[in-house]
């Protein structure tokens, strides 16, 4: 359950990450408050005492709250029943309750006292906050044609939310819409959200099938050809649009026995899902009589574990399993006959623990990057800004990247100098943008590996990095092989032409750090048959659902942030279609007609069984050919393993685009070059209005992100 939310700083910059871990006050996953102190104050009859959290298991690197499982209370606990239910559940290794706050038979009447489940005195404030998620009455129907029911529903909803706020609950689950038209319900909830500060509302949505499964297709066609399919995502989308994408509105998905296709399920990973309410009816029975889940359910739950979604088990026990725990979550290893029987749903909890514990541990790289998940950073502009020592140090730790560079340089040296010329030919290599020297080191190691003689010019404009370069050269004894040039590459006059030009100017989108402009200016150093490393690079984009990123940008309440491209470790996103190529650049390019301006139009086709979706923006990647068959990149299909210098880039849309089922997504990308600025402009065409470029003029197109990079004077 999530702690208080605070606005994050957007001052971090990074090509892939900043030099230090960001302070993530707005976490990608809910976090539990610390254990309460004993000074809760008040009545001595408060029960139960606070108990330590019992995770589903230990998984290296995973500190998210998906490790903790809750249970839904189906029966209304009157009087002192709630403390007893909580004590029993906690002792059975459940971590929190989804519990009704008010008697479900209650209807508002003049002068009536709200019949709450329990006084606020029976639990301490920290126990209410840590272990109780409120469940709003399910009879509420704010879109009913019955006016009295509609009015009673609105009053009761407001009363129950007010009581939950008084209890300091961190979340309440509100019932699903009763019908597809939910305008009044959404209006009231949106009004409530405006007044909430520390509490979230989780809209309960049944995860219903959006299409017939293969095994059901013939049945539908033969028995009920006129039946309409239901896509519960549409309910959620309509509701959150009417609530103006509130950052305090989340989803609690009811997981039923039947599931949609994996493509349809994938949409939810980009939505703000906080809980998966797993019905006991969804479980199968294994050979030993214990509950288990289908492969599709297992895959879905594993995905939720990876996305910080907490599981809540709901329903009556359908498995007659001995109450003496054989599971992995028993708190008391010295079980005796006097020990209270475990919770009726403990076998289901044990199965959740089994699923969690069999997951692979997070890789070391993922553990290092976990604090960067969905954290927005402005891309580096090394041509304009001088990088700090911490930033250099972070990038220099990426040994995979420099190994690839060393391989490429070694191949280029062998191609330039034959074995017969090794003793007589010295290759001239220029490192433009040498930084603190990692490419210089990679070049000299490649020369040693291949037995070639090398003369290196290290060109660097950052005077502070130049100081480090001089120290490195002296320390390594490279004075006879390396010449340091403290100058901007664009205004340096080289004393001789280079055989090989090496640079490290690639951004997350390939060209977004002005690599084309820099290398076009530096290629005058190259001989006509010279080699550029990298020799080419291509950018890619794909449409994504990214509700969290959209809300983080929207929180700034201005257009400027929506016109910024961000570097971000994408996590809570749904990738809706495979990436496609955008721009390509090759070096050297001696053509007199060469230009770095680009335009491309792309059309993305979503898998047929995906259903409708909401596009919040486009994820961008690059793939670079360093030399011949040596490449590096972050494009998902060809990404270089264990390389962490670059995170993807995110191009947000000012207004998310609703894409109906089986409709294409059309996007136009321009790279516009001026004397002092290079801009990338994207326009995504709304498929509901117009699919032609002429729609841009009429304003019906959702103008996307435009990122610009200024070109400073040399």
Q: Which residue has the tokens 């007010």?
A: 162
Mapped onto helix, strand or coil, the DSSP state of residue 26 is coil
Helix (H/G/I), strand (E/B), else coil: 451: coil
Residue 166, judged by CB atoms within 10 A of its CB (0-12, 13-18, 19+), counts as exposed
What is the length of the chain? Answer: 714
Say which DSSP state 267 is in: G
**Selection from 4, 30, 36 nearest residue 126 by Cα:** 36
**Could you confirm whether 513 is annotated as catalytic?**
yes
Task: Sort strands 426-432 and 498-503 into parallel, antiparallel or unpaired.
Answer: parallel
Both tokens of 438, joined, read 């990692």
**Alpha-carbon gap, residue 502 to 445, rounded angstroms:** 14
Among candidates 546, 490, 530, 483, which has minimal Cα distance to 514? 490
d(Cα 327, Cα 314) in Å, to the nearest integer?
Answer: 19
Give the relative orientation of helices 389-396 and 463-476 as an angle to the nearest 10 degrees: 50
- In sequence order, which residues have a C-beta less than 8 Å from that of residue 455 and are 6 or more positions away? 426, 427, 428, 429, 481, 483
Query: What is the C-alpha separation between 185 and 157, in angstroms, rounded?
Result: 10
Catalytic residue among 271, 504, 563, 666: 504
| Planar angle of CA 545, 547, 552, nearest 5 degrees | 135
DSSP 8-state code for residue 438: H
Instruction: Report the C-alpha gap between 338 and 12 in whole angstroms.
Output: 57
Catalytic option among 12, 211, 369, 513? 513
Q: How would you label 626-652 residue by residue, b for 16+ Cβ within 10 Å and e otherwise? A: bbeebbbbbbeeeebeebbbbbbbbbb
- Give the pairing of strands 171-174 and 132-135: parallel
The greatest distance separating any two alpha carbons of the chain, rounded to the nearest whole angstrom, comes to 102
CB of 50 closer than 8 Å to CB of 126 = yes
Are 491 and 525 in contact by the 8 Å Cβ rule? The answer is no
DSSP character string of 206-224: E---SS--HHHHHHHHHH-
Element (H, E) at 155: helix 147-166
388 is catalytic: no
Catalytic residue ranges: 504, 513
């Amino acid at each position: 359950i999530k702690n208080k939310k605070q606005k994050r700083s957007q001052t971090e910059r990074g090509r892939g990450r900043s030099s230090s871990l960001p302070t993530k006050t707005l976490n990608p996953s809910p976090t539990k408050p610390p254990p309460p102190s004993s000074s809760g104050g008040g009545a001595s009859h408060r029960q139960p005492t606070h108990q330590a959290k019992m995770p589903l298991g230990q998984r290296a690197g995973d500190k998210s709250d998906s490790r903790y499982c809750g249970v839904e209370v189906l029966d209304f606990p009157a009087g002192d029943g709630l403390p007893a239910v909580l004590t029993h559940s906690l002792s059975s290794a459940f971590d929190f309750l989804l519990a009704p706050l008010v008697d479900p038979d209650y209807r508002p009447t003049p002068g009536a006292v709200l019949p709450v489940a329990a006084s606020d005195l029976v639990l301490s404030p920290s126990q209410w906050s840590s272990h109780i998620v409120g469940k709003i009455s399910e009879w509420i129907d704010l879109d009913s044609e019955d006016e009295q029911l509609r009015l009673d529903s609105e009053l009761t909803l407001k009363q129950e939310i007010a009581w939950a706020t008084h209890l300091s609950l961190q979340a309440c689950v509100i019932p699903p819409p009763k019908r597809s038209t939910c305008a009044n319900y959404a209006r009231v909830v949106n009004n409530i959200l405006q007044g909430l500060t520390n509490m979230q509302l989780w809209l309960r949505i049944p995860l219903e099938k959006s299409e017939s499964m293969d095994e059901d297709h013939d049945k539908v066609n033969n028995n009920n050809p006129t039946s309409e399919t239901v896509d519960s995502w549409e309910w959620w989308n309509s509701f959150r649009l009417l609530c103006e994408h509130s950052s305090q509105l989340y989803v609690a998905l009811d997981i039923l026995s039947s599931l949609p296709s994996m493509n349809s399920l994938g949409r939810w990973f980009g939505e703000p899902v906080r809980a998966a309410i797993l019905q006991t009816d969804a479980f199968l029975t294994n050979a030993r009589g214990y509950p288990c889940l289908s492969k599709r359910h297992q895959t879905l739950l594993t995905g939720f574990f990876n996305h910080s979604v907490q599981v809540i088990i709901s329903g009556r026990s359908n498995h007659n399993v001995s109450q003496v725990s054989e599971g992995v979550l028993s708190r008391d290893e010295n079980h005796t006959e006097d020990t209270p029987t475990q919770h009726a749903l403990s076998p289901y909890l044990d199965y959740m623990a089994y699923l969690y514990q069999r997951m692979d541990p997070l890789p070391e790289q993922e553990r290092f990057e976990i604090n960067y998940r969905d954290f927005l950073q402005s891309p580096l502009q090394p041509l304009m800004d001088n990088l700090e020592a911490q930033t250099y140090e972070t990038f220099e730790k990426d040994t995979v990247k420099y190994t690839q560079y060393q391989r490429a340089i070694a191949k280029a040296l062998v191609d330039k100098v034959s074995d017969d010329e090794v003793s007589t030919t010295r290759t001239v290599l220029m490192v433009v943008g040498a930084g603190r020297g990692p490419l210089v080191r990679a070049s000299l190691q490649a020369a040693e590996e291949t037995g070639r003689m090398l003369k290196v010019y290290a060109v660097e404009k950052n005077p502070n990095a130049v100081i480090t370069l001089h120290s490195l050269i002296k320390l390594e004894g490279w004075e006879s092989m390396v010449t340091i040039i403290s100058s901007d590459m664009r205004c340096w006059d080289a004393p001789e032409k280079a055989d090989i030009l090496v640079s490290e100017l690639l951004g997350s989108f390939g060209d977004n750090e002005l690599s084309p402009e820099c290398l076009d200016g530096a290629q005058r150093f190259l001989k006509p048959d010279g080699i550029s490393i990298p020799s080419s690079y291509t950018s890619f984009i794909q449409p994504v659902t990214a509700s969290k990123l959209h809300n983080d940008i929207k929180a700034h309440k201005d257009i400027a942030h929506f016109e910024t491209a961000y570097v971000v470790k994408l996590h809570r996103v749904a990738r809706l279609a495979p990436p496609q190529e955008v721009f390509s650049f090759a070096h050297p390019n001696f053509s007199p007609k060469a230009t770095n301006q680009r335009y491309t139009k792309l059309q993305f086709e979503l898998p047929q069984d995906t259903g409708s979706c909401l596009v919040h923006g486009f994820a961008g990647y690059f793939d670079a050919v360093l030399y011949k068959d040596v490449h590096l990149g972050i494009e998902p299909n060809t990404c270089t393993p264990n390389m962490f210098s670059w995170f993807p880039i995110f191009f947000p849309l000012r207004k998310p685009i609703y894409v109906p089922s089986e409709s294409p997504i059309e996007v136009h990308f321009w790279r516009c070059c001026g004397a002092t600025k290079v801009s990338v402009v994207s326009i995504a065409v709304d498929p509901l209005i117009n699919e032609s470029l002429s729609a841009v003029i009429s304003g019906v197109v959702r103008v996307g992100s435009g990122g610009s990079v200024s070109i400073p004077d040399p």
